[in-house]
Amino acid sequence: MKYLIFIGDGMADRPIESLGNKTPLEAAKKENIDYIAKRSVYGMTLPTPLGMVPESDTANLALLGYDPRVYSKGRSPLEALSMGIPMSDTQTAIRCNIVTLSEDSDDYEALTMIDHSSGEIDNESAAELIRYIDEHLGTEKRKFHPGVSYRHCLMWDNCPTPPEFSRPHDILGRKIKEYLPKSEEYLELMKKSYSLLKDHPINLKRKAEGKNPANSIWLWANGMKPALPSFEERFGLKGVAISAVDLIKGIAICAGMDVINVEGATGNIKTNFSGKAKAAVDALEKYDLVYLHVEAPDECGHQGNAEEKVKSIEYLDEMLGYILENVKGMDLRILFCPDHPTPIEIRTHSPESVPFIIYDTRKEENGVDTFSEKKCENGLNIPNGFKLIDTFIE
């Protein structure tokens, strides 16, 4: 038996007026997803435990069978692990976005958060900006490391006690003053970064091209060195993860799983969907379980773009169609679900339960006619998302 966990990050949503009061899942044309939905066990689950922030690290840990209340130590250390950054017990990893702030005031604290992703900046430009920041703000104990697009890492040895940070995607369109860290050491870094980046040649060029400049760093999501029990020892399955984002790769590495990097995979809607689908089919020949993660619906949710979120789900449907066509004759179980909702109306993650379907190529269940939030409400209820894998794996 082979297993595929197919995650559409942030895919769940709420009814949207521009979509005829449908959710993106309801509005999308998704014949392959609906094909398996009709033949699947279905239901709702809550990957992020009540009282915890619905971040991707907690949700994806849960979907791999790790109780976030026990194992969630912050997303940045997991990202650092994926980036190949050595980490000691005295170091703290801190997520370092490069964001777009308004440039309508000389007072940093009066600026507005325009874009948490700087227009989903390309890797090359972002890396040059982060290296520039490290040149000017890095020290022997404090090092800035480039990651993917807007997602980077600050590694700080024996750092000052981290304050409570705000997530940049939670404050889009808001003045940043009340969301800034209440710690002078961290706030000063962010202010200095704005002075350094605002008129950097890359940002002058981006503005001339009508793109959002990457004009400030934003620090958040700190954590210490992570540790997870081996996935293979827990479930007796050799696993691999396919994802464009360092967080998912870091979780996999920490769990003793392998990672497959797909050329052209970006973490947004302009990604190599077909390459990831092909990689999943190839991986199923070698591994017992494949964790296939696609970030695009989540990024569309953060951007508040309902039309592209629908398209991203349709691209996932094409991926699933390719996989189904190329695994004929294989005994395969597929878990298809989001990790959390990223509703268009709020442009950030929300803590509601998410729908799931479990399809088995060997048999047909009495499923639902279409995969959606509403249709799955009357199925199985698994309130602890980290236990869903027990239902999935025989």
Above 90 in pLDDT, residue 226?
no
Above 90 in pLDDT, residue 73?
no
Q: Report the DSSP pairing between strands 2-8 and 289-294.
A: parallel
Q: Is residue 86 part of a domain?
A: no
Percent of the chain having pLDDT more than 70?
Answer: 100
32 and 97 housed in the same domain = no
Q: How many domains does the chain have?
A: 2
Q: Report the DSSP pairing between strands 41-45 and 142-148.
A: unpaired
Last residue of a domain, one of 223, 238, 254: 223
Tokens of 67: 């109780």
Residue 152 exposure: Cα atoms within 13 Å on the Cβ side? 33
111 and 190 housed in the same domain = yes
- Cα–Cα distances in Å, from 379 out to 137, 251, 296, 367? 53, 29, 27, 9
State in Å, rounded, how far the first CA of the chain is from the last one.
9
CATH of the domain at 373: 3.40.720.10
Note the pLDDT of residue 170: 94
Percent of the chain having pLDDT more than 90?
Answer: 96
For residues 250 and 126, the answer to whether their CB atoms sit within 8 Å is: no
Say how far residue 389 (Cα) sits from the centre of its chain: 19
Distance CA 248, CA 226 (A): 13
198 and 279 housed in the same domain = no
H/E segment holding residue 274: helix 273-286
Strand residues in 243-368 grouped as ranges (E): 258-260, 289-294, 332-337, 354-360
pLDDT tens per residue, range 97-145 = 999 999 999 999 999 999 999 999 999 999 999 999 999 999 999 999 9
Note the pLDDT of residue 75: 86
pLDDT tens per residue, range 338-351 = 999 999 999 999 99
- Cα–Cα distances in Å, from 173 out to 113, 118, 151, 168, 320? 5, 13, 20, 10, 36
Q: Is residue 274 part of a domain?
A: yes
Note the pLDDT of residue 179: 98
51 and 170 housed in the same domain = no
217 and 237 housed in the same domain = no
Q: The pTM is what?
A: 0.85
Q: Is residue 312 part of a domain?
A: yes
pLDDT tens per residue, range 281-318 = 999 999 999 999 999 999 999 999 999 999 999 999 99
Q: Is residue 20 part of a domain?
A: yes
Note the pLDDT of residue 390: 97
For the chain, what is the mean pLDDT? 96
287 and 350 housed in the same domain = yes
Which domain range does residue 179 map to? Answer: 91-223
320 and 242 housed in the same domain = yes
Residue 225 pLDDT class (50, 70, 90 cuts):
confident
For residues 384 and 54, the answer to whether their CB atoms sit within 8 Å is: no
Last residue of a domain, one of 203, 223, 243: 223
pLDDT tens per residue, range 234-288 = 999 999 999 999 999 999 999 999 999 999 999 999 999 999 999 999 999 999 9
Q: Is residue 188 part of a domain?
A: yes
193 and 271 housed in the same domain = no
Say how far residue 305 (Cα) sits from the centre of its chain: 17
Beta carbons within 8 Å of 36's beta carbon, 6+ residues apart: 320, 324, 334, 336, 357, 359, 367
251 and 315 housed in the same domain = yes
Q: Is residue 145 part of a domain?
A: yes
Last residue of a domain, one of 179, 203, 223: 223
252 and 355 housed in the same domain = yes
248 and 218 housed in the same domain = no
Q: Is residue 84 part of a domain?
A: no
174 and 235 housed in the same domain = no
DSSP bridge partners of 11: 341
Above 90 in pLDDT, residue 171?
yes
Q: Is residue 82 part of a domain?
A: no
Say how far residue 130 (Cα) sits from the centre of its chain: 21
